Structure 1
Amino acid sequence: MYIFIKLFIFLPFIGVSDGLTQKITVDGRLLCIKVPLENVKIKLMEENILFDEMMSEGVTDNKGYFNISGEYIEYTKIEPYIEINYKCPESGEEAVEEKKFLYVPSNVFRYLGYTRNFKFKFDDIDLIRIKKRVVWYFF
């Protein structure tokens, strides 16, 4: 009888034990010394404690623009970032492939009722001017 009482109490929570589906769309434009970077691979990632997971990926167009959407199931708010692998020559030097990580600021994730669909615009990103790992802030 005690087992049935436990099952009766915890049964309603089984359906919500998967977490909440949260969606994010990020867009922007990649530049190298003010020149658009085309066909650059961009991954939309979710930061986790052990292993980060890819939510989606895409490439920039011929003008350097990108628009990537992804979703992730999580109990807490998601911590997405974009991973960019690119080549950008500096002042006559040969271009070397580099990797940069740009994080979506946490204040983007303001929950309004059941809305879990977020958007963030990175605007123009001149990769030559930023460090390897950057968190965007806006007010």
Structure 2
Amino acid sequence: MLRYLAFFSLIGAATSLLFGLIGSEQSVRVTGKLQCNGAPASHVRVKLYEKETTLDTLLSEGTTDADGTFTLQGAKTEVTTIDPKVNVYHKCNYNGICYRKFSLTVPDNFITDGATPNKTFDIGVINLANRFSGDSTDCLN
């Protein structure tokens, strides 16, 4: 089983390297404000990923400010259009040893050709006390 995982990881890495040499650089910027029960959710971990077939590629990461706001941006070279998503890891109304996690996909019309994004996907104000489709628990963020 480990051999298969190593093989497919190697194939994925080689494909990413090859496509990185012949693709075009694309970038994305995401901003938003997170709250917990109406109060700013400060120090919440947020990560911007490029969705991949095997393992997602981290483009940027950070935490929310004291007022719950964040901005992330990243770039990647791909042959096809990048497929970015934002993962949010939080403890709002959750006392487990891990974190609650949800993801938001960035629409294609917010992806920019080139290294610097000229558009920003604003996710708006999100109350982390809500339940989201695809919610999960993550201990390794």
Supply the distance in 1 between the matched residues of 2:53 and 2:84 (Cα, whole angstroms). Answer: 13
Q: Are 1:60 and 2:60 an aligned pair?
A: no
Calculate the TM-score normalised by the size of structure 1. 0.71
- Displacement of 1:102: 1.1
In the alignment, the residues of structure 2 paired with residue 18 and residue 35 of structure 1 have an alpha-carbon distance, to the nearest angstrom, of 46
Distance 1:19 1:29 in 2: 33
Q: Does 1:95 align with 2:95?
A: yes
* 2:106 maps to amino acid: V
Task: Please tell me the residue identity of whatever aligns with 1:103.
Answer: T
Q: 1:100 to 1:29 in 2, by over 3 A?
A: same
C-alpha distance in 2, partners of 1:48/1:132?
Answer: 20
Deviation at 1:115, TM superposition (A): 5.8
Displacement of 1:127 in angstroms is 1.8
Match status 1:24 vs 2:28? yes
Q: In percent, how many aligned pairs have the same letter? A: 30
Pairs within 5 Å for 1:44-55 = 44-55=48-59
* TM-score normalized with structure 2 length: 0.70
Whichever of the two has the greater Rg, that structure is: 1
Q: Cα offset for 1:101? A: 0.8
What do residues 75-123 of structure 1 show as CA deviations (whole Å, max 9, x unaligned)? 111111111111011xxxx5332111111123434x7xx6673421111
Alpha-carbon contact 1:28-1:121 (below 8 Å) kept: yes
| Distance in 2 separating the partners of 1:77 and 1:64 | 30
2:107 match: 105
Hey, what's the Cα distance between the residues in 2 that align with 1:46 and 1:122? 17
The answer as to whether partners of 1:30 and 1:36 remain within 8 angstroms in 2 is yes
- Asked if residue 39 in structure 1 is aligned to residue 40 in structure 2, the reply is no
Amino acid at match of 1:51: L
AA aligned opposite 1:102: L
| 1:133 Cα offset (Å) | 3.4
Q: Write the distance in 2 (CA, Å) between the matches of 1:65 and 1:133.
A: 23
Query: Which 5+ residue runs of structure 2 have no aligned equivalent?
Result: 1-17, 136-141
